[in-house]
Amino acid sequence: MTAPLDGVKVIDLATLFAGPLAAAFLGDFGADVIKVEHPAKPDPSRGHGPARDGVGLWWKVLGRNKRTVTLNLSDPDGAALLRRLLADADVLVENFRPGTLERWGLGPAELHAVNPRLVITRISGFGQVGPYARRPGFGTLAEAMSGFAAATGEPDGPPTLPPFGLADSVSALAAAYAVMLALRARDVTGAGQVVDLAIIEPIMAMLGPQITWYDQLGYVQPRLGNRSNNNAPRNTYRCADGRWVAVSTSAQSIAERVLRLVGRAELIDEPWFATGSGRAAHADELDAAVSAWVAQRDRDEVVAAFEEAQAAVAPVYDVRDILADPQYGALGTVRTVPDEELGEVRMQNVPFRLAETPGEIRHAGRRHGQDTDTVFGALGLSVEELTALRERGAL
C-alpha cells in the first residue's frame, strides 16, 4: 500500500519541540524524514525527561520514522552539504532564531536558488518579523502570551501553565497542515514557498472567540477553574473511592438527564435552568447536587449510571488507565513500536485513521547520526570524503 506522502522528502533541522513533531506527523504518513543534528550537540529532546539505561524516551517519540544524520551548519562544508541534500527535497523544517540561516548563507533566497520547489517551514517563538522576532521563544511563553494561562486555573489562583508542551504540539499540527497546503499550492504553481509559523499564534486560534468577545463587548475571559460560563454543571467530581469523573452538560437535554439521575429533577423547572448561561449562573447549586451524589459512589458505578441515563461523563484518567481502557484498545491509540535500543516501546499512535492509506509508526527515534553515511553516501560522497569531513568537524 502506498502511503499518502510516499516520495516526499523532508529535511528536519528543528529542535524542541514543535518542528520535530511536525516532521514526525509527516513521517507517519510516508514522508522520508531526514533529521539533521549538530555532530556534538544532539537534539536536546534526547536528554529531556526520564531515560531508560541512558536512552532518552521523549526522543523515541519525536524521532519516530526519521533517519538521523549529523551536520555542522555553521561550517561552510556542512552548509554546502545541506544544500546538496536539499536539491531534491520537498520540505525543510527549521526553528532557528530568525536570521540564523541567513547568516550561514542558507536563507530562503539561497535555498530557492538551489531548489525552487522547496517548501521552507520556519517555526519560531514570535515569527520572522516584528519587534520580538529575534527573542528566544518557547512554548511556555506562547502559553503565557496567547491568553491560555490567564484563563486557566482557579478563580482565586495564579495563571496556570500546562505540564507538557501544549503550544508546541498545537503548533506542530498547524505546521504539518501548512506544509500540506504549500505542497498542494506547489502542485498548481510549480513553486515552493516560505511558511512562517509563530508559536504564539496557533494556540491562540484554539482559544475560541476571546478577541471577538473583547472587541464587541469589552469582555475578558476570567479564570473559572473547571467551570464554564456557557453551561453547568460542568466540573470534575470526586468519587467515593478517591477517583474522579468529569461531567459536561453543553446540551440542554444532557443537563436535564444529569439532574434527574442525581435526584434533583425539581431544578429542571427553575426558569434559569432553560439556558446554558442561566445554569452557569447557578453553578454552585448544580455542582453541590452532582457532587453530593457522586461522592457516595465509586467511579465505575458513577460511569455506569451516567451511561445508562445517556448523560455525558468521563473518568479522569492517568496513563495507567489509558493503557487499560478498551476504547483506546479498539481504536489502536497506543502502538508498540520496534526499537534497536529498547527492543520495543509503546507510544501514542498516529492521531487519526485514513481508511485506505493509514499512517504508521515504523520505528522509534534512532541513534544520533545513525544514518549519516548512508544518506550522504547516496549523494556520492566516498568513505574517505566522509571521514575527512568528520575530522574537520563539518559532519
Active site residues: 168
Rounded Cα distance between 289 and 239, Å, is 13
Give whole-number Cα distances, 156 to 225, 234, 263, 390, in Å. Answer: 9, 18, 31, 57
CA-CA distances (angstroms) from residue 51 to 18, 27, 55, 366? 21, 24, 5, 15
Q: Distance between CA atoms of 81 and 261, rounded to whole angstroms?
A: 67
Q: Phi and psi dihedrals of 196, rounded to 5?
A: -110, 105
Indicate the helix (H) or strand (E) that contains 345. strand 343-348
The cell for 151 is 484563563
Q: Which residues pair with 34 in a beta bridge?
A: 11, 67
CA dihedral in degrees (214, 219, 224, 227; nearest 10)?
-90
